[in-house]
Structure 1
Amino acid sequence: MLILHIAKHEDWESALTKGEYSPVSLSLEGFIHCSTPEQIIKIANSNFKNEKGLVLLCIDSSKVKAHISFESSGYDYYPHIYGALNLDAVVKTLEFEPGSDGNFTLPQEVNELVKLLK
């Protein structure tokens, strides 16, 4: 199953050097926030509107070594990764920039990955 995570470009570059991805949310909240492909645009437009310098991590959940739990947040269930993300679980990274109106759209590559990882 494909899950997605929005990261700052510099945080992802740092992860490539360290050998694992451990964002601030992991130390503050104990998990890495992720979304399904159906959820990601709403999350991006709610929390990252107009923000530049982002990448979308496309994660094969079957390759994640840490525990993943789908947990309720309001009206929906979101995947949370409880531990550092092993880099080999990231099957693709995509530049994730907002449009001129500040909103995000789903990159076409995500739909292709969904089909591959079913």
Structure 2
Amino acid sequence: MGFRVEFNSILRSDNYGDLTVGKIYDFNKAGSRVFFDDIPVWLCNSDWQVLAEISIMSQTRENANLTGTFRVDYIYSGEEQKTISKVFVRMYDGVLSPYIYLLSSQSEYENTCKTGELVRDSLSSEGFIHASPKSQLNRVANKYYKETAKPLVITLELEKIEPSVLWEPATGGLYPHIYGPLNTSAIKSVQPIALNAHGEFDIKI
């Protein structure tokens, strides 16, 4: 019998304006996940702009709350900050959205409405249905759906999805995987999409 301790590698907060390398700052964070104390942690604001690399100096976990101190080791700026921030948006922004997305064909969607649930072959072969964050829709659509007749984007409300949804790494970032048949009651909206004049999808949600 064992136990699991979950770790953070990112501290997100809008409480830090001017930062100074070497200075110690207090932090207070909701949640019980502790930080690594022997490797650098990233400090970001709520929009995923990466501000600095920090080291956790102390941390105390109590009543689903984490408090402590950190030292600023390196401050990002200019093009370096822009580049790394883009990576963080691509990797993590979808995890905090109330919606995830499915690419589908018109015929699959109509069949789903008839049966009341979406079942794909990947449930048998991989154990889950592939879904996508908004930031990855164009990449997935252009790779897999150019030959699909009447393609659609289906917006799903996370809190209404009955099977478990796990965010797991795949090409290009973290993706939501639906571990069971998808109930149609989780569908918020359905949007037709089409290739543009250059033969590419440019999906706007």
TM over 0.5: yes
TM-score (norm 2): 0.49
| Equivalent residue letter for 2:102 | H
Is 1:51–1:98's contact at 8 Å kept on the other side of the alignment?
no
2:134 aligns to what SS in structure 1?
coil
- Indicate the structure with greater helix content: 1
Q: Is the 8 A contact 1:50 1:102 kept in 2?
A: no
Structure 1 unaligned segments of length 5 or more: list them: 111-118
Shift >6 Å, 4+ stretches: none
Deviations 1:35-58 (A, max 9, x none): 111111111112223533211110
Q: Which amino acid is 2:155 matched to?
A: C
* Number of residue pairs matched by the alignment: 108
Structure of higher RCO (CA pairs closer than 8 Å, 6+ residues apart): 1
CA contact (8 A) 1:25 1:31 kept: yes
1:87 is aligned to: 184
Return closer, same or farther for 1:24/1:62 CA change in 2, 3 Å cut-off: same
TM-score norm. by structure 1 comes to: 0.83
**Change over 3 Å in CA distance of 1:7–1:75 after alignment to 2:** closer
Aligned AA for 2:181?
A: A
Larger Rg: 2
Q: What amino acid is aligned across from residue 114 of structure 2 in structure 1?
A: T
Answer whether contact 1:34 1:80 (CA < 8 A) is retained: yes
Give 5+ residue unaligned stretches, structure 2.
1-97
Of the candidates 96, 99, 106, which is equivalent to residue 9 of structure 1?
A: 106
Shift of 1:62: 1.0
Partners of 1:12 and 1:48 lie apart in 2 by: 14
What is the CA–CA distance in structure 1 between the aligned matches of 2:166 and 2:199, rounded to whole Å? 31
Q: SS at 1:42's partner residue?
A: helix
Matched with 2:75 is none
Distance 1:36 1:2, change over 3 A: same
SS, match of residue 51 in structure 1: coil
Q: Is the 8 A contact 2:106 2:149 kept in 1?
A: no
Moved more, 77-86 or 21-30: 21-30
Amino acid at match of 2:129: I
Question: Partner residue of 1:115?
Answer: none
Considering fraction of residues, name the structure with more strand. Answer: 2
Distance 2:103 2:166 in 1: 18
Give aligned-pair identity as a percent.
28
